[in-house]
Amino acid sequence: MRPFTSVTSRAVPLIRDNIDTDAIIPSREMRSVSKRGLAAGLFANWRYDDVDSRTPRVDFVLNDPLYADARILLGGDNFGCGSSREHAAWALEDYGFRAVIAARFNPIFLGNCLRNGIVPVALDAGPIALVDGPVTVDLEACTVSGGGQVWPFEMDPEARRMLLEGLDPIALTLLDSDSIDVFEQRDRAARGWAYARPEAVQRPGEMLKK
């Protein structure tokens, strides 16, 4: 997972409440288990007049040349609701988004963002959408800034560390491998039977045969 410190770009204003994962990546666009190749299907039902031919809908914000290289997405309340499909986060990341700013996130979608290097910033995106120029999401400072204004945000310390250091949940756990080893050694001494090989464990009834 790519570490994240900060990103600066125009912010795409898609401020609608209850944007669900089926809108983010419709099920018909999920044709493989790979994280790559999903960008073309991102918001497909909203983005194209004809999905099969990929004919762009001219009035959809992602098709505006102004936001061609945007890396920040602005959403409304309850962003990422609906099904738990991780493809929604994969599609956003494959398109190039590194941060999503919304008033509130569905908890499962939020977790999927964290595991895929996308920063979920819980802020009212309305004022940020008024910025006529680049916006910066700074995870070290926990701020969003742009147009001479600064909006602080909060994030769970463990989630923030995962993003800053590019750690997935397994890598984060392995940082405590020394403490895990100490616990295992202590537990092995106290409960040796729990670590015995299956063939070495006496089966029920064997005592009665002896």
pLDDT of residue 201: 53
Is the pLDDT at 209 greater than 70? The verdict is no
Judged by average pLDDT, the poorest of 80-84, 137-141, 186-190 is: 186-190
Question: Cα(116)–Cα(209) distance, rounded to whole angstroms?
Answer: 56
Question: Cα(142)–Cα(164) distance, rounded to whole angstroms?
Answer: 11
Label residue 25 exposed, middle or buried (CB < 10 Å: 0-12, 13-18, 19+): buried
Amino acid, single-letter form, for residue 205:
G
pLDDT of residue 202: 56
In whole angstroms, how large is the CA radius of gyration of the chain?
A: 23
Question: Cα(28)–Cα(44) distance, rounded to whole angstroms?
Answer: 10
Which residues does 99 contact at the CB level (< 8 Å), separation at least 6? 4, 7, 71, 72, 73, 118, 119, 120, 121, 137
Domains in the chain, please, with CATH?
6-166 (3.20.19.10), 173-209 (no CATH)
User: Cβ–Cβ contacts within 10 Å for residue 7, how many?
Assistant: 18
Rounded to the nearest integer, the mean pLDDT of the chain is 91
Question: Cα(153)–Cα(175) distance, rounded to whole angstroms?
Answer: 26
Q: Bridge-partner residues for 101, per DSSP?
A: 74, 121
The per-residue pLDDT for range 55-106, each reduced to its tens digit, is 999 999 999 999 999 999 999 999 999 999 999 999 999 999 999 999 999 9
pLDDT of residue 198: 65
Per-residue pLDDT averaged across 113-128, rounded? 96
pLDDT of residue 196: 80
